[in-house]
Chains A and B, each alone.
Chain A
Amino acid sequence: MHELSICQSMLEIVDGAMADHPGARLERVFVDVGRGSTVEPSLLRDAFEIATTGGPYEGAELVINEIPLVGKCRSCGRSFEYKEIALGCPDCESTSVEIESGLELNVRELEIDG
């Protein structure tokens, strides 16, 4: 789906950072992908492979930190994986919930050689 265009945006950020390190080789890209973020990690990995083949980042590794979708009950304060809390808090049955994590889509850091 949109993993290819997300990957392009990611590589533009990488380009910007690599410009400050002329001559360095890109080894790894560390990213956060929330399970509720709409991005499918395996498709992002495929897109990265396709987009980097034959270019300056060929052989670099995409390291994806998958973050579970977690909801927190506003009444009792407990946190649950979202699938457990989808119809309300399993403990106190409150339906007042907020998403704590799992929507992330970030480039965290790069590992470079040189």
Chain B
Amino acid sequence: MSKVDIGKKMLSENDRLAAENRVRFAEAGLLVLNLISSPGSGKTALLESTLDRLPDGVRVLVIEGDVSTDRDIERVRAHGADGVQINTAGGCHLSAKMVGKVLPDLNLDGADVLFVENVGNLICPSTYDLGEDAKVVLLSTTEGDDKPMKYPAIFHESSVAVINKIDLLPHLTYDIERAEREIGVLNADCDILRVSALKGTGMDEWIAWILRKMKEKRGE
């Protein structure tokens, strides 16, 4: 019986492919945001509303991750985005390999920002680096205010948490301060925004956040 020392992350191969994607994105000077939430929190709705509000001249690409349909890519195309759909055939997350494979189908050069809408799931996507600049976690007021503590990894990994559907707050017992406090304890550096993708509340702050990140990416 002998021991063989390994000392590797289980997802080291995914991390290697993510680093390759990251090089490609850096060459194109492209800001890449990985959107993660439970099913139905409003990832696609936030993208639709974002596409309507970004200043003219900002070129947007979208990769939609979904188990089996083209519905989300059709929705964002209707708001002017170029993009591709990835069907994971049952898989509960996108991987760096899946994203790398569709990059030749996208015209990266001259684009400013690439949104990757991950498969609706608050657990699995948080462990798979895609080569993004930042993870954006969305939670909606209808999911309950105790979610950060239940899904610590994604809040620890995200650069910004967007609390969506705040238009519904008057009808709910959602304690938004509690949710924000839990996020802060998990990740002191995580920005927190309150929005309603449907009504447009808070969207100016979200757009400003994206534009600030775009500038940082270009080194301005």
Closest Cβ of chain B to A68, distance in Å, is: 12
A96 at the A/B interface (Cβ < 8 Å)? Answer: yes
Task: Point out the residue from B11, B149, B156 that lies within 8 Å of A103, measured CB to CB.
Answer: B156
Q: Let me know if B6 and A109 touch, CB within 8 A.
A: yes
Asked, given contacts A31-B10, A105-B127, A111-B2, whether A5 binds B91 with beta carbons under 8 Å apart, the answer is yes
- The 30 sampled A-B contact pairs (Cβ below 8 Å) are A2-B91, A5-B91, A9-B11, A10-B10, A13-B6, A36-B152, A38-B123, A38-B151, A38-B153, A71-B185, A74-B188, A82-B152, A86-B182, A86-B185, A87-B181, A88-B181, A97-B186, A99-B156, A103-B156, A105-B10, A106-B8, A106-B9, A106-B10, A107-B7, A109-B5, A109-B6, A110-B3, A111-B1, A112-B2, A113-B1
Closest Cβ of chain A to B147, distance in Å, is: 12
A98–B14 CA distance with the chains assembled, in angstroms: 26
Q: Which residue of A lies closest to B157 (CB)?
A: A103
The residues in A between 60 and 114 inclusive whose CB is less than 8 angstroms from any CB of B are 69, 71, 74, 82-83, 85-88, 95-99, 102-103, 105-113
Residues of A within 8 A of B6 (CB): 13, 17, 107-110
Residues of B within 8 A of A6 (CB): 10-11, 127
Pair count A-B, CB < 8 A: 111
Nearest 4 interchain pairs by C-beta: A2-B124, A110-B4, A36-B152, A86-B149
A112–B3 CA distance with the chains assembled, in angstroms: 6
Q: Let me know if A69 and B152 touch, CB within 8 A.
A: yes
Asked, given contacts A2-B124, A36-B156, A87-B182, whether A98 binds B188 with beta carbons under 8 Å apart, the answer is yes
Q: Which residue of B lies closest to A10 (CB)?
A: B10
Interface size counted on chain A using CB atoms at 8 A: 42
Closest Cβ of chain A to B61, distance in Å, is: 26
Closest Cβ of chain B to A11, distance in Å, is: 10
A5–B90 CA distance with the chains assembled, in angstroms: 12
Q: Which residue of B lies closest to A2 (CB)?
A: B124
Q: Let me know if B127 and A38 touch, CB within 8 A.
A: yes
Q: Which residue of A lies closest to B128 (CB)?
A: A2
Q: Let me know if B185 and A87 touch, CB within 8 A.
A: yes
Residues of A within 8 A of B181 (CB): 87-88, 95
In this complex, the member of A36, A83, A112 whose beta carbon has the largest number of chain B beta carbons within 10 angstroms is A36
Q: Which residue of A lies closest to B93 (CB)?
A: A2
